[in-house]
């Protein structure tokens, strides 16, 4: 699922009624979950964090800025924090299955809408910046609200969206895209904050002051301190003592975890600590973390153990938590600390894939039309992918198969990913059908109602087709791994590869049937022909390749 985080900062930190109205606007959008509200009285500023699907987050962000512009008057605002607008800054943060580029498009859509509908000038910053000098929020905000009236007249500071006219009530809003920041603390077996600082200085990007042979700090010709660069990019760190835990910690902000992930920071801190006789005893996550950051950590430690990384997601997360000691100070709750799990937990949707096999089959057997064949087809695909991963894991490290370790580890890992995609399609198919039925019940008394209903029905039907089409496309992604494991997998488990192929045949035929039955409800012949041709081509290829696997398996097992 595509998930985006949004962290707007509003120039109001004292009147909680205003903040409540803004958060109510955010939560009014289905698919958005409010994660945090952090008001500051001294700064007269509130930072709000919410997450959701791209469409939902875009709508929530607009409604929040709209409500803020109605309730906050910048001409009367006083606060310690730099600011230039009622909604001062509104960054989007890619979290799951979404690129920076896609988030930039969201930022641009929001900027255009805020400027056009609310008459608020908008500047784009960070990854969305239209020129280098606008990448920095500090550059854009220089002069703050008080200087904006003159600054906005300067052609060099013409807004990216909206007129170059001062809006005295709302000021201007800065919208952009930034990386996910992970706040991460490393625990030490000492109370000495100086030792923690010593380690922090070595690992942080800024580094530490260079000293001469007499221990004096070295300056350049302008009198500025010369720093020896630290070991880790995109890493800020300090050392401190924590009363609550009675230990010293290295407090770290990882400003781009894809450059320096938590497990690399942990390992470097461990190395540097050991040099000065200090031991790392675990770590602590402050706030939330993207799932992929922990998955990467889990796989890193599995590889160090010479173990297969093709394990279920929860198993990999467990390895990461234990390896980083994230549960040493208090229990680590995945549903509260991993952002994707937190979102799913707060959405509180009853999922088919959370049912027991018996309950799912019972639900399937009732007179309710959903779940139906589409969900069962996706289930067959997830079982097929699970079997491929199983054969790969039963091959990894086995005597006589060691030369294939890297290859079968890749097969196991990718099959797990495909399994998870297929599991998601089980629920998506039922959700698509339920959405179609909701639209089908829309009123159709007037001509306008009929027109709107017809358009919505077309849209709902295409959504119902998209799911089984995605199922077919996902089967094709699995086929190379099935074929490879049939050729190189443990012969004692080769029948399981054959059962995987049989499940894929069922999955493919089921998905194709669901496409055809939904196409009957559409009148656009070009669309119907394109989808029919594309899906039939996929089906034929899947059938052909799965039949070859069956033949190969029967050859081996006699």
pLDDT for 92: 98
Taking residues 207-219, what's their average pLDDT? 90
- Concerning whether 77 is annotated as a catalytic residue, the answer is no
Task: Return the DSSP state at 256.
Answer: -
* Nearest partner of 377 among 520, 519, 535, 503, judged by Cα: 503
pLDDT for 347: 79
pLDDT for 350: 72
What pLDDT band is residue 344 in, cutting at 50, 70 and 90?
Answer: confident
Q: Is the pTM of this model over 0.85?
A: no
Min mean pLDDT across 110-114, 177-181, 438-442, 510-514 is at: 438-442
Q: In the numeric block, which tokens belong to residue 473?
A: 């496309």
Pair 396, 450: CB distance under 8 Å: no
Q: In the numeric block, which tokens belong to residue 452?
A: 């709107």
Q: How many CA atoms lie within 13 A of 261 on its CB side?
A: 16
* Nearest partner of 384 among 171, 551, 542, judged by Cα: 542
Q: How many CA atoms lie within 13 A of 260 on its CB side?
A: 24
pLDDT for 395: 97
* Nearest partner of 121 among 143, 146, 75, 88, judged by Cα: 88
What is the topology classification, in CATH, of domain 182-343? Alpha-Beta Plaits (3.30.70)
41-45, 217-221, 316-320 — which one is most confidently predicted on average? 316-320
Q: Which helix (H) or strand (E) holds 543?
A: helix 525-557
Taking residues 517-541, what's their average pLDDT? 96
Output the CA–CA distances (angstroms, integers) from residue 543 to 316, 467, 475, 476, 505, in the order listed: 33, 19, 11, 10, 6
What pLDDT band is residue 349 in, cutting at 50, 70 and 90?
Answer: low
Among the options 81, 192, 420, 466, which is catalytic? 81
Q: Model confidence over 249-269: pLDDT tens digits?
A: 999 999 999 999 999 999 999
pLDDT for 223: 87
Mean predicted lDDT score pLDDT of the chain = 94
Three-state DSSP state, 541? helix
Bridge-based pairing state of the strands 182-188 and 122-126: unpaired
**Residue 386 confidence (pLDDT) above 70:** yes
Among the options 409, 427, 429, 496, which is catalytic? 429
pLDDT for 348: 66
- Concerning whether 81 is annotated as a catalytic residue, the answer is yes
pLDDT for 102: 97
Q: How much of the chain, in percent, has pLDDT values that exceed 90?
A: 86
Q: Model confidence over 74-111: pLDDT tens digits?
A: 999 887 778 899 999 999 999 988 999 999 999 999 99
Three-state DSSP state, 405? helix
Taking residues 349-373, what's their average pLDDT? 89
* Nearest partner of 61 among 172, 140, 173, 137, judged by Cα: 173
Where do the domains of the chain lie? 3-177, 182-343, 349-557
Whether 349-557 and 182-343 are alike in CATH topology: the answer is no
Burial (CB count within 10 angstroms: exposed 0-12, middle 13-18, buried 19+), residue 473: middle
Give me the phi and psi of 153, to 5 degrees please. -80, -20
Q: Model confidence over 18-48: pLDDT tens digits?
A: 999 999 999 999 999 998 898 888 788 899 9
Q: What architecture is domain 3-177?
A: 2-Layer Sandwich (3.30)
pLDDT for 558: 82
* Nearest partner of 87 among 70, 105, 69, judged by Cα: 69
**Residue 212 confidence (pLDDT) above 90:** no
Q: Model confidence over 484-518: pLDDT tens digits?
A: 999 999 999 999 999 999 999 999 999 999 999 99
Min mean pLDDT across 170-179, 190-199, 210-219 is at: 210-219
Q: In the numeric block, which tokens belong to residue 35?
A: 């994660």
* Nearest partner of 12 among 61, 70, 56, judged by Cα: 70
| CATH hierarchy code of domain 349-557 | 1.20.120.680
């Amino acid at each position: 699922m595509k998930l985006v985080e949004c962290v707007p900062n509003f120039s109001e930190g004292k009147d909680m009624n205003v903040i409540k109205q803004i958060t109510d606007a955010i939560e009014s959008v289905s698919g958005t979950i409010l994660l945090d509200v952090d008001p500051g009285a001294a700064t007269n500023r509130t930072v709000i964090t919410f997450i959701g699907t791209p469409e939902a987050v875009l709508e929530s962000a607009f409604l929040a800025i709209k409500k803020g512009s109605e309730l906050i008057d910048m001409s009367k605002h006083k606060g310690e924090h730099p600011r230039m607008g009622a909604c001062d800054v509104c960054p989007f943060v890619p979290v799951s299955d979404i690129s920076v580029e896609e988030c930039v498009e969201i930022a641009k859509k929001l900027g255009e809408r805020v400027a056009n509908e609310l008459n608020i000038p908008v500047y784009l910053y960070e990854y969305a910046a239209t020129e280098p000098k606008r990448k920095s929020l500090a550059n854009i905000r220089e002069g703050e609200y008080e200087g904006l009236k003159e600054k906005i007249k300067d052609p060099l500071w013409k807004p990216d969206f909206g007129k170059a006219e001062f809006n005295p009530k709302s000021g201007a809003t800065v919208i952009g895209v930034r990386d996910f920041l992970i706040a991460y603390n490393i625990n030490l077996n000492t109370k000495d904050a100086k030792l923690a600082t010593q380690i922090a200085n070595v690992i942080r990007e800024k580094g530490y002051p260079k000293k001469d042979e007499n221990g004096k700090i070295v300056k350049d010709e302008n009198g500025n301190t010369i720093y020896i660069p630290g070991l880790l990019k995109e890493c800020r760190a300090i050392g401190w003592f924590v009363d609550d835990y009675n230990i010293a910690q290295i407090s770290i902000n990882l400003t781009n975890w894809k450059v320096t992930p938590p497990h690399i920071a942990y390992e470097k801190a461990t190395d540097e600590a050991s040099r000065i006789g200090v031991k790392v005893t675990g770590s602590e996550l402050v706030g939330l973390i993207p799932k992929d950051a922990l998955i990467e950590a889990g796989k890193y430690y599995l590889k160090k153990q010479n173990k297969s990384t093709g394990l279920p997601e929860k198993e990999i997360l467990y390895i990461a938590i234990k390896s980083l000691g994230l549960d040493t100070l208090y229990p680590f709750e995945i549903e509260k600390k991993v952002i994707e799990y937190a979102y799913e937990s707060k959405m509180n949707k009853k999922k088919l894939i959370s049912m027991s096999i018996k309950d799912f089959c019972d639900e399937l057997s009732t007179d309710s039309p959903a779940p139906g064949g589409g969900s069962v087809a996706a289930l067959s695909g997830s079982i097929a992918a699970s079997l491929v991963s199983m054969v790969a894991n039963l091959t990894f490290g086995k005597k006589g198969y060691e030369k294939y370790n890297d290859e079968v580890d890749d097969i196991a890992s990718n099959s797990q990913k495909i399994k998870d995609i297929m599991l998601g399609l089980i629920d998506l198919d039922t959700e698509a059908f339920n959405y179609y039925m909701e639209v089908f019940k829309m009123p159709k008394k007037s001509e306008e109602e009929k027109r709107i209903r017809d358009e919505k029905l077309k849209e709902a039907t295409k959504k119902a087709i998209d799911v089984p089409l995605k199922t077919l496309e996902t089967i094709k992604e699995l086929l190379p791994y099935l074929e490879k494991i049939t050729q190189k997998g443990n012969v004692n488990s080769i029948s399981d590869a054959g059962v995987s192929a049989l499940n894929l045949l069922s999955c493919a035929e089921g998905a194709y049937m669901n496409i055809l039955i939904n196409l009957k409800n559409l009148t656009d012949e070009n669309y119907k022909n394109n989808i029919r041709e594309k899906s039939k081509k996929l089906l034929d290829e899947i059938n052909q390749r799965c039949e070859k696997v069956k033949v190969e398996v029967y050859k081996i097992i006699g």
